Amino acid sequence: MTSPVGNPWLLTGASQLPHPAPPCRPRGAPSRVARGALSELPRRGTLAAVAVGVGATLAADGVLRATQRGYAAAGPVLWPPRLTRETLRKELVEGQIWGLEQVIAFFTVSANIRMLVVRLSDGKLWVCGPIAPTQECLQLLDSLGPVGHLVVPGSALEHKSSLSDFSRRYPKASVWVSPGASGALGDPPLGRVDGVLGEGTPPWATEIDFKVFYVAPPETAGTYAETAFFHKKTQTLLLTDAVLKVPDAAPEILASYGYDGEPRQLSDKEWYYKFLAFNFLELRGQDQEDFQALAKAKGVVSPILRFTLYPICQAQAQRWVTAVAQWPFRRAVAGHLASPFPLTPQDFLDAFGFLRGKPSSWEPQRPQLVNLQKAAESLDGPEALQSSIWTPWR
């Protein structure tokens, strides 16, 4: 790589291995990378209104308490839907792993977000990436058993903003967070934290192994972390954003928000648009073809991460990917889109083939990357485009 990004590190389980490692994260983390990427892309004018709306939300959300789908949270709701939010629970691995899903929206661009729940051998629940704590959500969680552990899997705001509410609700639960989860100025406070992943051994480590990918300023423009987890008993890889499976149809929970806030089923055309726009791909009048190319992959790396972030942390990312692929997983669950989905270590490596100069599980066409290229160059400098990740499209 032509422009090293400093001296972050790869954290593996309770051990720490010094390496240079990655900065990444457009969706959620309030970094220069994220803010710039948003401003670079078409049809994102309404996103600016989200930032303005957050200030008003801070003052108004105290009234959101009443119904089952209204908020139990004391703090702000950062994304629509703001008045009520439906929660859908699905069993992902029989009797062992569940996903609780809600919607996060940027007006007509919306996606599902999933909190992962694992039942440990002592019957207690391991809860990863707390979502908005509506009464409905909390009741669905409590019906599975006692909450024993709360985990923040990375630096993405949407996966950590509800931690303080959950830790107050479950005062006996241990709380472990990824490094960098304390976030930037303006992030909601995390509340009580018992340990940082990679700086100690969590009480659940004998059943769920973990590897953390982390980088932070001043070496890089923004803070990024994602922890991959491996549930040994079920041979399941638990991810947040690293590799996702694109479903052919819109996730069921999106019907609770519809296209622009009115509950209804999405058409295929609307789902294609939402997915492509949420990933900042150029909308070039052939949404179905572009969507299906992504959906046919066994697992795919977000185009945002691939093209605006990994080029400046390529070697470091590859070390983490190689380490994760040492686990003998046979399926994966993730914080967005479809879950569970079949995934082997080789499939995981294939999704990141671009890090090694090899074909990946999905390869775009040049016209899809116009805005991502502009964002990468403006945010990280022209040298970012010298990475081999950009070679086929320069």
The 10s digit of each residue's pLDDT in 141-159 is: 999 999 999 999 998 888 9
Q: How is residue 126 written in tokens?
A: 């391991």
Nearest of 360, 370, 366, 362 to residue 392 by alpha carbon:
366
DSSP 58: H
The answer to whether the CB of 104 falls within 8 A of the CB of 158 is yes
Q: What are phi and psi of 368, to 5 degrees?
A: -75, -15
Torsions phi, psi of 228, nearest 5?
-95, 140
Say how far apart CA 41 and CA 380 lie, in whole Å: 16
pLDDT of residue 65: 38
Closest alpha carbon to 162 in 51, 203, 170, 179:
170
- What would be the CATH architecture of the domain defined by 9-393? 4-Layer Sandwich (3.60)
Name, of 11-20, 220-229, 352-361, the range with top average pLDDT. 352-361
Which pTM was predicted?
0.82
Amino acid found at 282: E
Torsion of CA 377, 383, 388, 393, to 10 degrees: 40
Could you tell me how far CA 385 lies from the centroid of its own chain?
24
Residue 266 has pLDDT above 80, yes or no: yes
- The whole-angstrom separation of Cα 246 and Cα 339 is 9
48: pLDDT strictly greater than 60: no
Higher pLDDT, 22 or 304: 304
Q: What are the residue boundaries of the structural domains of the chain, listed by start?
A: 9-393
Residue 35 DSSP symbol: H
Task: Name 229's bridge partners.
Answer: 210, 238
pLDDT at 255 > cutoff 70: yes
